[in-house]
Amino acid sequence: MKSRLRSWFQAIGPGIITAALVFGPSKMTITSQLGADYGFALLWIVIVAIFFMMAYTSMAARIGSATQQSLLSTIKQRWGKVVAVTIGGCIFLVTASFQAGNAAGTGISISELTGISPRASIMLFSLLAIGLLFFRSFYKLLEIFMTAMVLIMLFSFVATLFLAAPDWSAVATGLRPSLPNGSEVLVVAFIASCFSIVGAFYQSYLVQENRRVSVIANQVLNKDRSMAGMLILGFMSKTVMICGDSIMHPTGI
């Protein structure tokens, strides 16, 4: 049991990276606003959204482990080149847009800290990110770095949660499904930001890369690796929503 638990923690790298991929600036903004505007009333949607995301990432992880080719190549064999190219084009556009937002956010943050022009910061860190792709040890570096960043985020969120001192009996009432007036747009935005098909595709590639660089990948069920990341994503989302309610909602921020 102990050895299996140890292996499980060592092999959750792909799930951790996928969770970090999905929990970006948009997730932080949406979850904070859900808590600030509607209190604990919408905590239940986290469970629903994460359930579907777990289903997709688990399927993608299984496909990535069972095949020696990319997920798009599998789709091409099954449904033809037109379908594969269409899906690949859509994924490219989504990822390019997502990365443009990340690059802009990084550039603005570095500019605020250092005084360097945001454009220069965006170019510099984009080139550094591209440069990492040419290192053979890129995946292991990415896994270590992203795991450390997620742990820092978790620590920050949990510390804020305890400092906020929420009413836990009120938190429990948020698990009962309800839809406050005017919350529909934010609910759709939250579910859409969780229900990431691109993240599922990425999960399949990460599992394949993990298998190439680590024998541990063959020792633990793929569903364990993918679900661990999604559970972390759900925990972070819930924590931010609870903090948003406890800190901002009472003051009308």
- Tell me the pLDDT band of 31, cut-offs 50, 70 and 90: confident
Average pLDDT of the chain is: 79
Q: Token pair of 160, please?
A: 């804020």
pLDDT digit string (tens) for 142-182? 777 777 887 888 888 889 888 888 888 888 888 888 888 88
Mean pLDDT within 73-84: 89
Q: Is the pLDDT of residue 3 over 70?
A: no
**% of the chain residues with pLDDT over 70:** 83
Question: Does the pLDDT of residue 138 top 80, yes or no?
Answer: no
The 10s digit of each residue's pLDDT in 205-248 is 777 776 665 544 444 444 555 577 777 778 888 888 898 888 88
Closest by CA position to 164, among listed 75, 249, 222: 249
**CA gap 18, 104 in Å, rounded:** 21
pLDDT computed for residue 85 by the predictor: 93
Which of these, 38, 28, 51, lies nearest to 185 by C-alpha position?
38
d(CA 95, CA 93): 5
Asked whether residue 123 carries a pLDDT value surpassing 70, the answer given is yes
More confident residue, 15 or 127: 127
